[in-house]
Amino acid sequence: MSDGAPGSAAPIRVVLADDQPLVRTALRMVMAETADIDVVGEAGTGDEAVRLTAELAPDVVVMDIRMPGLNGIEATERITAGPATAHVVVLTTFDDDDYVYGALRAGAAGFLVKDMALDDILGAVRVVAAGDALIAPGVTRRLIKEFAGRPASSRPRRPLTAITDREREVLALVGGGLSNAEIAERLFISVATAKTYLTRLLSKLGARDRVQLVIIAYEAGLVSVSG
């Protein structure tokens, strides 16, 4: 693995969890060519992913959903509920729509699809390692469609009495998958102001990251199929 230049930040430590060796090999080979990402372990099952995360203390776990035994959602839940500080990026395919909501509820900080460009996956690892959340373009809209298709009575509702009308607008746009820049453009505010609203929402709603705000927007009924 490449080490960073002298004086540079330590490489992002990554555990790859996927039951397909070819997928792990492809990701490992690409990450081996970067100076800022180091693959420190590989797992073929969810149980192995949980164990390696505890043993190796990676910064990021790239997690497949469909694995034998403990699946990726269950493994993600165990990792995020435990003492580990690793951020989980879930990798899946578009036919896994039924799993998306469960993965996010389990604490995943990112949700990517396997047909994304490898450079985009590397970028996502960096974003999540920095403490931000990321959902692949297109996944959010598919999640909205799947979630909105459920009977209204089956959706948990969260009271949003603690937030202002403007914050509610911002939350709805976050739930619709808009970036800070897109929110700023939609509401005719600066990007810095959009970020301020996001910070307030995280604090007021007790959310860990942007992904949890997306979930809250769904649960509060702020997001429709049309976004």
Residue of 142 and 175 predicted with greater confidence: 175
Domain that holds residue 56: 12-136
Which pTM does this prediction carry? 0.69
Task: Read off the pLDDT of each residue in 117-131 and give the average, rounded to a whole number.
Answer: 84
Chain mean pLDDT for the chain: 82
Burial 83-105 (b: 16+ CB within 10 A, else e): ebebbbbbbbeeebeebbbbbbe
Pairwise CA distance, residues 53 & 48, whole Å: 8
Is the Cβ–Cβ distance between 38 and 31 less than 8 Å?
A: yes
On whether both 124 and 213 belong to a single domain, the answer is no
pLDDT band at 136 (very low <50, low <70, confident <90, very high): low
On whether both 132 and 178 belong to a single domain, the answer is no
On whether both 23 and 96 belong to a single domain, the answer is yes
Domain boundary among 103, 136, 169: 136
Pairwise CA distance, residues 214 & 103, whole Å: 13
- The answer for residues whose C-beta is within 8 angstroms of residue 7's C-beta and 6 or more apart is none
On whether both 22 and 111 belong to a single domain, the answer is yes
On whether both 70 and 132 belong to a single domain, the answer is yes
Is the Cβ–Cβ distance between 47 and 15 less than 8 Å?
A: no
- pLDDT at position 124 is 84
Domain boundary among 80, 115, 136: 136
pLDDT band at 3 (very low <50, low <70, confident <90, very high): very low
Domain boundary among 136, 156, 181: 136
Query: Taking the CA of residue 40 as centre, how many other CA atoms within 13 Å lie in the half-sphere pointing to its CB?
Result: 19
Write the pLDDT tens digit of every residue in 36-67.
999 999 999 999 999 999 999 999 999 998 88
